[in-house]
Structure 1
Amino acid sequence: MSFEPQIPGLFASEQGARPVENAQAATEKQLQYAHAIAQKTGVALPKDLHGDRAALSAWIDAHKPKAPGGRFANYPSSKQVAFAERIARIKRRDIPRECFRDRGMMSKWIDGNMPR
Protein backbone atom coordinates (compact mmCIF):
# COMPACT_ATOMS: atom_id res chain seq x y z
CA MET A 1 0.00 0.00 0.00
CA SER A 2 1.44 3.37 -0.93
CA PHE A 3 0.62 6.76 0.41
CA GLU A 4 -0.06 9.51 -2.09
CA PRO A 5 -0.56 13.07 -0.98
CA GLN A 6 -3.96 14.65 -1.39
CA ILE A 7 -2.45 18.03 -2.30
CA PRO A 8 -1.79 18.10 -6.06
CA GLY A 9 1.70 19.24 -7.03
CA LEU A 10 3.07 19.00 -3.48
CA PHE A 11 5.92 16.71 -4.47
CA ALA A 12 6.08 17.60 -8.15
CA SER A 13 9.57 17.21 -9.57
CA GLU A 14 9.20 20.18 -11.90
CA GLN A 15 9.16 22.60 -8.95
CA GLY A 16 12.84 22.23 -8.10
CA ALA A 17 14.64 24.40 -5.60
CA ARG A 18 13.62 27.99 -5.38
CA PRO A 19 16.12 30.76 -4.66
CA VAL A 20 15.75 32.73 -1.46
CA GLU A 21 14.07 36.03 -2.20
CA ASN A 22 15.82 38.14 0.44
CA ALA A 23 19.41 37.32 1.29
CA GLN A 24 20.19 37.32 4.99
CA ALA A 25 22.62 39.92 6.27
CA ALA A 26 26.02 38.76 7.47
CA THR A 27 26.39 38.21 11.21
CA GLU A 28 28.64 40.39 13.35
CA LYS A 29 30.98 37.45 14.04
CA GLN A 30 31.27 36.74 10.31
CA LEU A 31 32.18 40.35 9.64
CA GLN A 32 34.77 40.41 12.42
CA TYR A 33 36.37 37.21 11.15
CA ALA A 34 36.36 38.45 7.55
CA HIS A 35 37.99 41.74 8.59
CA ALA A 36 40.65 39.84 10.56
CA ILE A 37 41.40 37.68 7.50
CA ALA A 38 41.53 40.75 5.28
CA GLN A 39 44.01 42.45 7.63
CA LYS A 40 46.28 39.40 7.87
CA THR A 41 46.32 38.65 4.16
CA GLY A 42 46.18 42.20 2.84
CA VAL A 43 43.21 41.38 0.59
CA ALA A 44 40.47 44.00 0.47
CA LEU A 45 37.06 42.89 1.71
CA PRO A 46 34.39 43.78 -0.90
CA LYS A 47 31.71 46.08 0.56
CA ASP A 48 28.85 44.32 -1.24
CA LEU A 49 29.38 41.19 0.86
CA HIS A 50 28.13 42.81 4.08
CA GLY A 51 24.51 42.28 3.07
CA ASP A 52 24.80 38.65 1.97
CA ARG A 53 25.63 35.97 4.52
CA ALA A 54 26.19 33.20 1.96
CA ALA A 55 28.48 35.31 -0.24
CA LEU A 56 30.55 36.41 2.77
CA SER A 57 30.84 32.80 3.90
CA ALA A 58 32.14 31.82 0.46
CA TRP A 59 34.68 34.68 0.58
CA ILE A 60 35.85 33.56 4.03
CA ASP A 61 36.27 29.96 2.83
CA ALA A 62 38.31 31.12 -0.15
CA HIS A 63 40.61 33.41 1.85
CA LYS A 64 41.01 31.83 5.29
CA PRO A 65 44.43 30.41 6.16
CA LYS A 66 44.95 26.77 5.32
CA ALA A 67 45.42 24.22 8.08
CA PRO A 68 49.06 23.60 8.87
CA GLY A 69 50.54 20.55 7.24
CA GLY A 70 53.51 18.51 8.24
CA ARG A 71 54.46 15.57 10.32
CA PHE A 72 52.05 16.20 13.20
CA ALA A 73 49.09 17.59 11.25
CA ASN A 74 47.03 14.40 11.65
CA TYR A 75 47.67 13.96 15.37
CA PRO A 76 44.67 14.36 17.71
CA SER A 77 44.31 17.62 19.60
CA SER A 78 45.11 17.88 23.29
CA LYS A 79 41.41 18.34 24.07
CA GLN A 80 40.55 15.21 22.09
CA VAL A 81 43.19 13.20 23.98
CA ALA A 82 42.04 14.54 27.35
CA PHE A 83 38.43 13.63 26.55
CA ALA A 84 39.45 10.13 25.45
CA GLU A 85 41.47 9.67 28.64
CA ARG A 86 38.45 10.67 30.74
CA ILE A 87 36.34 8.09 28.91
CA ALA A 88 39.07 5.47 29.37
CA ARG A 89 39.13 6.12 33.14
CA ILE A 90 35.34 5.84 33.36
CA LYS A 91 35.26 2.64 31.27
CA ARG A 92 38.49 1.28 32.83
CA ARG A 93 39.97 0.62 29.39
CA ASP A 94 43.20 1.46 27.65
CA ILE A 95 43.31 3.64 24.57
CA PRO A 96 45.09 1.85 21.71
CA ARG A 97 48.51 3.40 20.98
CA GLU A 98 47.75 3.98 17.29
CA CYS A 99 44.90 6.31 18.28
CA PHE A 100 47.48 8.79 19.59
CA ARG A 101 48.93 9.14 16.07
CA ASP A 102 45.70 9.57 14.08
CA ARG A 103 42.87 11.98 14.89
CA GLY A 104 40.38 9.93 12.85
CA MET A 105 41.11 6.77 14.80
CA MET A 106 40.89 8.68 18.08
CA SER A 107 37.52 10.08 17.04
CA LYS A 108 36.24 6.58 16.19
CA TRP A 109 37.51 5.24 19.52
CA ILE A 110 35.75 8.06 21.38
CA ASP A 111 32.50 7.47 19.46
CA GLY A 112 32.65 3.73 20.15
CA ASN A 113 33.42 4.10 23.87
CA MET A 114 31.31 7.08 24.83
CA PRO A 115 29.43 6.41 28.07
CA ARG A 116 25.72 6.01 27.47
Structure 2
Amino acid sequence: MPPLAMLSLAVHALQPSRLAPHVRARWGAGAADGPRYSLRCICTMMMDDAYSNFAPSEKQLQYAQRLAQRTGLDLPPEALSDKESCSAFIDEALSKSPPSANQVAYAKSLAQSACIELPEQVLRSAKSCSEFIDEIQQSGSTAGFAGGSAGGGAATSRLPTDKQIIFAASLARQQQIGLSHEVLSDRAAASSFIDSMLAGGGAPNANTPIADPSGLSLVSESAVAGQELQSTQEPLEPAPFDLPAAVADAGDGNQERSLFREGQIPF
Protein backbone atom coordinates (compact mmCIF):
# COMPACT_ATOMS: atom_id res chain seq x y z
CA MET A 1 0.00 0.00 0.00
CA PRO A 2 1.46 3.43 -0.90
CA PRO A 3 2.53 5.64 2.03
CA LEU A 4 -0.07 8.34 1.24
CA ALA A 5 -2.88 5.80 1.40
CA MET A 6 -1.50 4.53 4.68
CA LEU A 7 -1.46 8.07 6.05
CA SER A 8 -5.05 8.80 5.08
CA LEU A 9 -6.21 5.52 6.57
CA ALA A 10 -4.34 6.22 9.78
CA VAL A 11 -5.76 9.76 10.10
CA HIS A 12 -9.26 8.46 9.52
CA ALA A 13 -8.93 5.77 12.15
CA LEU A 14 -7.10 7.81 14.80
CA GLN A 15 -9.15 8.21 17.96
CA PRO A 16 -7.58 8.66 21.40
CA SER A 17 -9.75 6.00 23.02
CA ARG A 18 -8.79 3.44 20.37
CA LEU A 19 -5.16 4.44 20.02
CA ALA A 20 -4.14 4.30 23.67
CA PRO A 21 -4.12 0.46 23.99
CA HIS A 22 -2.32 0.13 20.66
CA VAL A 23 0.32 2.69 21.62
CA ARG A 24 0.92 1.06 24.99
CA ALA A 25 1.30 -2.39 23.37
CA ARG A 26 3.55 -1.10 20.59
CA TRP A 27 5.76 1.51 22.25
CA GLY A 28 5.42 0.88 25.99
CA ALA A 29 3.04 1.57 28.85
CA GLY A 30 4.02 5.23 29.26
CA ALA A 31 3.90 6.15 25.59
CA ALA A 32 0.16 6.95 25.64
CA ASP A 33 0.42 9.26 28.64
CA GLY A 34 1.65 12.84 28.82
CA PRO A 35 1.81 15.71 26.38
CA ARG A 36 3.87 13.80 23.80
CA TYR A 37 0.84 11.64 23.08
CA SER A 38 -0.65 13.52 20.13
CA LEU A 39 -2.04 12.87 16.73
CA ARG A 40 1.12 14.08 15.01
CA CYS A 41 3.34 11.88 17.14
CA ILE A 42 1.27 8.76 16.47
CA CYS A 43 1.10 9.48 12.74
CA THR A 44 4.85 9.93 12.60
CA MET A 45 5.56 6.65 14.36
CA MET A 46 3.08 4.73 12.20
CA MET A 47 4.49 6.27 9.03
CA ASP A 48 8.02 5.32 10.08
CA ASP A 49 6.95 1.72 10.62
CA ALA A 50 5.11 1.60 7.30
CA TYR A 51 8.03 3.10 5.39
CA SER A 52 10.55 0.69 6.94
CA ASN A 53 8.40 -2.28 5.91
CA PHE A 54 7.78 -1.20 2.32
CA ALA A 55 10.90 0.80 1.43
CA PRO A 56 13.87 -0.91 -0.28
CA SER A 57 17.06 -1.44 1.66
CA GLU A 58 20.17 0.65 1.11
CA LYS A 59 22.00 -2.21 -0.60
CA GLN A 60 19.01 -2.84 -2.87
CA LEU A 61 18.99 0.82 -3.92
CA GLN A 62 22.73 0.84 -4.60
CA TYR A 63 22.44 -2.32 -6.69
CA ALA A 64 19.54 -0.86 -8.68
CA GLN A 65 21.54 2.31 -9.35
CA ARG A 66 24.55 0.33 -10.59
CA LEU A 67 22.33 -1.70 -12.93
CA ALA A 68 20.72 1.50 -14.23
CA GLN A 69 24.15 2.91 -15.07
CA ARG A 70 25.28 -0.34 -16.72
CA THR A 71 22.20 -0.83 -18.89
CA GLY A 72 21.32 2.83 -19.52
CA LEU A 73 17.82 2.38 -18.11
CA ASP A 74 16.10 5.13 -16.15
CA LEU A 75 15.51 4.32 -12.49
CA PRO A 76 11.80 5.01 -11.85
CA PRO A 77 10.97 7.26 -8.89
CA GLU A 78 8.75 4.65 -7.26
CA ALA A 79 11.73 2.28 -7.07
CA LEU A 80 13.32 4.63 -4.55
CA SER A 81 10.49 4.27 -2.04
CA ASP A 82 8.78 0.95 -2.83
CA LYS A 83 10.53 -2.38 -2.35
CA GLU A 84 8.47 -4.27 -4.93
CA SER A 85 9.05 -1.62 -7.59
CA CYS A 86 12.76 -1.70 -6.91
CA SER A 87 12.84 -5.50 -7.20
CA ALA A 88 10.91 -5.37 -10.47
CA PHE A 89 13.38 -2.86 -11.90
CA ILE A 90 16.33 -5.04 -10.85
CA ASP A 91 14.83 -8.08 -12.61
CA GLU A 92 14.25 -6.06 -15.77
CA ALA A 93 17.76 -4.63 -15.71
CA LEU A 94 19.33 -8.05 -15.15
CA SER A 95 17.53 -9.47 -18.18
CA LYS A 96 19.04 -6.70 -20.33
CA SER A 97 22.46 -6.59 -18.68
CA PRO A 98 25.28 -8.86 -19.94
CA PRO A 99 26.74 -11.31 -17.43
CA SER A 100 30.05 -10.66 -15.78
CA ALA A 101 33.25 -12.40 -16.83
CA ASN A 102 33.21 -14.54 -13.69
CA GLN A 103 29.62 -15.62 -14.36
CA VAL A 104 30.45 -16.63 -17.93
CA ALA A 105 33.56 -18.56 -16.88
CA TYR A 106 31.66 -20.45 -14.19
CA ALA A 107 28.76 -21.24 -16.53
CA LYS A 108 31.18 -22.57 -19.14
CA SER A 109 32.92 -24.80 -16.61
CA LEU A 110 29.57 -26.24 -15.47
CA ALA A 111 28.48 -26.83 -19.05
CA GLN A 112 31.75 -28.59 -19.84
CA SER A 113 31.47 -30.82 -16.78
CA ALA A 114 27.90 -31.73 -17.74
CA CYS A 115 28.91 -32.32 -21.39
CA ILE A 116 26.33 -29.88 -22.74
CA GLU A 117 26.45 -26.87 -25.03
CA LEU A 118 26.16 -23.45 -23.45
CA PRO A 119 23.01 -21.66 -24.74
CA GLU A 120 23.51 -18.31 -26.45
CA GLN A 121 21.09 -16.46 -24.19
CA VAL A 122 23.25 -17.34 -21.19
CA LEU A 123 26.06 -15.29 -22.72
CA ARG A 124 23.80 -12.28 -23.35
CA SER A 125 21.74 -11.97 -20.16
CA ALA A 126 22.96 -11.91 -16.58
CA LYS A 127 19.58 -13.18 -15.40
CA SER A 128 19.62 -16.13 -17.80
CA CYS A 129 23.19 -16.90 -16.80
CA SER A 130 22.26 -16.98 -13.11
CA GLU A 131 19.23 -19.18 -13.80
CA PHE A 132 21.36 -21.55 -15.89
CA ILE A 133 23.94 -21.87 -13.11
CA ASP A 134 21.25 -22.54 -10.51
CA GLU A 135 19.59 -25.16 -12.74
CA ILE A 136 22.83 -27.05 -13.35
CA GLN A 137 23.85 -26.97 -9.71
CA GLN A 138 20.48 -28.23 -8.46
CA SER A 139 19.64 -31.00 -10.91
CA GLY A 140 22.15 -31.08 -13.78
CA SER A 141 19.24 -30.61 -16.20
CA THR A 142 19.12 -28.07 -19.03
CA ALA A 143 15.32 -28.03 -19.33
CA GLY A 144 14.10 -24.64 -20.49
CA PHE A 145 17.49 -23.62 -21.91
CA ALA A 146 18.35 -26.05 -24.69
CA GLY A 147 17.13 -24.52 -27.92
CA GLY A 148 14.78 -22.25 -25.97
CA SER A 149 12.18 -25.02 -25.88
CA ALA A 150 9.50 -24.93 -23.23
CA GLY A 151 9.02 -27.95 -21.04
CA GLY A 152 12.52 -29.27 -21.73
CA GLY A 153 13.21 -32.97 -21.72
CA ALA A 154 15.23 -35.63 -19.98
CA ALA A 155 18.48 -34.66 -18.38
CA THR A 156 21.43 -34.78 -20.73
CA SER A 157 23.38 -38.03 -20.37
CA ARG A 158 26.95 -37.81 -19.15
CA LEU A 159 29.96 -39.59 -20.54
CA PRO A 160 31.49 -42.47 -18.56
CA THR A 161 34.78 -41.96 -16.76
CA ASP A 162 38.08 -43.36 -18.04
CA LYS A 163 38.20 -45.92 -15.23
CA GLN A 164 34.71 -47.12 -16.12
CA ILE A 165 35.66 -47.63 -19.77
CA ILE A 166 38.90 -49.44 -18.89
CA PHE A 167 37.22 -51.74 -16.40
CA ALA A 168 34.27 -52.44 -18.72
CA ALA A 169 36.72 -53.30 -21.52
CA SER A 170 38.62 -55.73 -19.28
CA LEU A 171 35.37 -57.46 -18.26
CA ALA A 172 34.23 -57.68 -21.88
CA ARG A 173 37.59 -59.12 -22.95
CA GLN A 174 37.31 -61.86 -20.32
CA GLN A 175 33.89 -62.86 -21.65
CA GLN A 176 34.98 -62.36 -25.30
CA ILE A 177 32.21 -59.89 -26.04
CA GLY A 178 32.21 -56.39 -27.49
CA LEU A 179 31.20 -53.05 -26.02
CA SER A 180 28.24 -51.23 -27.53
CA HIS A 181 28.27 -47.56 -28.44
CA GLU A 182 25.79 -46.87 -25.65
CA VAL A 183 28.17 -48.28 -23.02
CA LEU A 184 31.03 -46.15 -24.37
CA SER A 185 29.00 -42.93 -24.53
CA ASP A 186 26.63 -43.05 -21.54
CA ARG A 187 27.69 -43.26 -17.89
CA ALA A 188 24.49 -44.96 -16.75
CA ALA A 189 24.77 -47.62 -19.47
CA ALA A 190 28.41 -48.26 -18.58
CA SER A 191 27.54 -48.65 -14.91
CA SER A 192 24.68 -51.01 -15.73
CA PHE A 193 26.96 -53.13 -17.93
CA ILE A 194 29.64 -53.37 -15.24
CA ASP A 195 27.10 -54.23 -12.55
CA SER A 196 25.56 -56.99 -14.67
CA MET A 197 28.98 -58.45 -15.45
CA LEU A 198 29.98 -58.50 -11.80
CA ALA A 199 26.65 -60.00 -10.75
CA GLY A 200 26.94 -62.73 -13.40
CA GLY A 201 30.27 -64.05 -12.12
CA GLY A 202 32.23 -62.94 -15.17
CA ALA A 203 34.51 -60.74 -13.09
CA PRO A 204 36.40 -61.26 -9.85
CA ASN A 205 34.53 -60.71 -6.62
CA ALA A 206 35.28 -57.10 -5.78
CA ASN A 207 33.71 -54.76 -3.33
CA THR A 208 30.09 -53.78 -3.81
CA PRO A 209 29.73 -50.96 -6.38
CA ILE A 210 29.50 -47.63 -4.68
CA ALA A 211 27.12 -44.79 -5.49
CA ASP A 212 28.39 -41.87 -7.52
CA PRO A 213 27.69 -38.40 -6.01
CA SER A 214 25.70 -37.49 -9.14
CA GLY A 215 23.26 -40.34 -8.46
CA LEU A 216 24.60 -42.89 -10.97
CA SER A 217 26.15 -46.21 -9.97
CA LEU A 218 29.91 -46.47 -10.33
CA VAL A 219 32.37 -49.28 -9.70
CA SER A 220 34.52 -48.86 -6.64
CA GLU A 221 38.20 -48.04 -6.95
CA SER A 222 39.12 -51.29 -5.24
CA ALA A 223 37.31 -53.29 -7.90
CA VAL A 224 39.43 -51.76 -10.65
CA ALA A 225 42.59 -52.15 -8.60
CA GLY A 226 41.76 -55.78 -7.80
CA GLN A 227 41.27 -56.54 -11.48
CA GLU A 228 44.67 -55.07 -12.34
CA LEU A 229 46.39 -57.01 -9.57
CA GLN A 230 44.86 -60.30 -10.64
CA SER A 231 45.83 -59.88 -14.29
CA THR A 232 49.50 -59.13 -13.47
CA GLN A 233 50.07 -61.64 -10.67
CA GLU A 234 52.55 -64.44 -11.52
CA PRO A 235 52.04 -68.03 -10.27
CA LEU A 236 54.08 -68.85 -7.21
CA GLU A 237 56.84 -71.47 -7.38
CA PRO A 238 56.59 -74.34 -4.87
CA ALA A 239 58.65 -73.63 -1.77
CA PRO A 240 61.64 -75.97 -1.13
CA PHE A 241 61.02 -78.67 1.43
CA ASP A 242 63.88 -80.07 3.54
CA LEU A 243 63.60 -83.74 4.46
CA PRO A 244 64.49 -84.82 8.00
CA ALA A 245 68.09 -85.93 8.46
CA ALA A 246 67.03 -89.46 9.30
CA VAL A 247 65.18 -89.86 6.01
CA ALA A 248 68.12 -88.40 4.08
CA ASP A 249 70.59 -90.75 5.70
CA ALA A 250 68.33 -93.68 4.99
CA GLY A 251 68.19 -92.75 1.38
CA ASP A 252 71.97 -92.55 1.10
CA GLY A 253 72.60 -95.94 2.70
CA ASN A 254 69.69 -97.72 1.07
CA GLN A 255 68.63 -98.77 4.57
CA GLU A 256 65.44 -98.22 6.39
CA ARG A 257 65.93 -96.33 9.61
CA SER A 258 63.02 -95.72 11.93
CA LEU A 259 62.28 -92.14 12.77
CA PHE A 260 61.09 -93.19 16.20
CA ARG A 261 62.76 -95.01 19.04
CA GLU A 262 61.64 -98.41 20.08
CA GLY A 263 58.53 -98.27 22.19
CA GLN A 264 57.71 -94.69 21.09
CA ILE A 265 54.22 -94.12 19.75
CA PRO A 266 54.46 -92.51 16.29
CA PHE A 267 51.73 -89.98 16.88
- Same fold flag (TM > 0.5): no
Q: Which has the larger radius of gyration?
A: 2
TM-score normalised by structure 2 residue count: 0.21
TM-score normalised by structure 1 residue count: 0.43
Higher helix share: 2
Q: Whose relative contact order is higher, 1 or 2, with alpha carbons under 8 Å and at least 6 apart?
A: 1
